[in-house]
Amino acid sequence: MSRKRVAVLISGRGSNMAALIEATKSVDHPAEIVFVVSNVPGAGGLATAVAAGIAVASVDHRRFGKDRAAFERALQAILVEHRIELVCLAGFMRLLTPWFVEQWPQRMLNIHPALLPAFKGLDTHRRALEAGVKRHGATVHFVVPEMDAGPIVVQGAVPVRADDTEAILAARVLTVEHCIYPQALRLVAEGRVTVADGRCLVDGQQVREAALLAPVDRP
Ligand code: GRF
């Protein structure tokens, strides 16, 4: 089976993008990152992608003013041009309209730095600390028009410790993000993920070890 052609959409440093590139280097991975697109021309992740020999492009949303549809048409056009089959949002800081989302049904993934459906939106680590949760983590989900609401593919959990700061917790979650995103992409690219009643099944099953990364607690 040929490897799925994947585009990663970024806005910033692109550490998740780098993890996806690293994990898909090997030819026996069912996906390959062939294209990286940023809506921010100077995004740090672009240089990382170039260094890895991957085609990059910037589609600067500011060029389109308030015309979100025109921005998305431009984005869609270059994805089609690069014969992209799967899209991974990785720190892509633009809300997408239903039109764009509907171009990629169950073919667009996002990573969110919280255990959804808890802490949708921004500042997840600060809000997790404020809420006093004992477990936090990250979620890879299919993108649907509603923000941070699509079917959950993989989650990874970490403990929250008494002396955690936002930065410490963010770093712990990021480590897990870098594991679960390549894992989720593998499952999806292998065609093992289906959606029934808004929930992901892996190999036709509701709960699968492959879809959960649980923490090892240390004192
Ligand atoms: C990550 O925390 C991701 O979960 C969120 O944005 C951040 C992007 O970080 N969506 P990076 O650019 O991948 O380093």
Q: Residues 212, 119: one domain? A: yes
Q: Residues 219, 115: one domain? A: yes
Nearest alpha carbon, ligand 1 atom 10: 91
Q: Which atom of ligand 1 lies at the shortest distance from residue 15's CA?
A: 14
Q: Which atom of ligand 1 lies at the shortest distance from residue 17's CA?
A: 13
Q: Is the CB of 96 under 6 A from ligand 1?
A: no
Secondary structure of the chain as H, E, C letters: CCCEEEEEEECCCCHHHHHHHHHCCCCCCCEEEEEEEECCCCCHHHHHHHHCCCEEEECCHHHHCCCHHHHHHHHHHHHHHCCCCEEEECCCCCCCCHHHHHCCCCCEEEEECCCCCCCCCCCHHHHHHHHCCCEEEEEEEECCCCCCCCCEEEEEEEECCCCCCHHHHHHHHHHHHHHHHHHHHHHHHCCCEEEECCEEEECCECCCHHHEECCCCCC
Ligand 1 mutation target, pool 177, 179, 180, 181, most atoms within 8 A of CB: 177
Q: Which atom of ligand 1 lies at the shortest distance from residue 177's CA?
A: 4
Q: Residues 99, 159: one domain? A: no
Q: Residues 79, 147: one domain? A: no
Q: What is the pLDDT along the chain (219 residues), one digit of tens a residue?
A: 799 999 999 999 999 999 999 999 988 899 999 999 999 999 999 999 999 999 999 999 999 999 999 999 999 999 999 999 999 999 999 999 999 999 999 999 999 999 999 999 999 999 999 999 999 999 999 999 999 999 999 999 999 999 999 999 999 999 999 999 999 999 999 999 999 999 999 999 887 676 777 655 544
pTM: 0.96
The domain in which residue 72 lies consists of 1-104
Q: Which positions are catalytic?
A: 112
**Structural domains of the chain, count:** 2
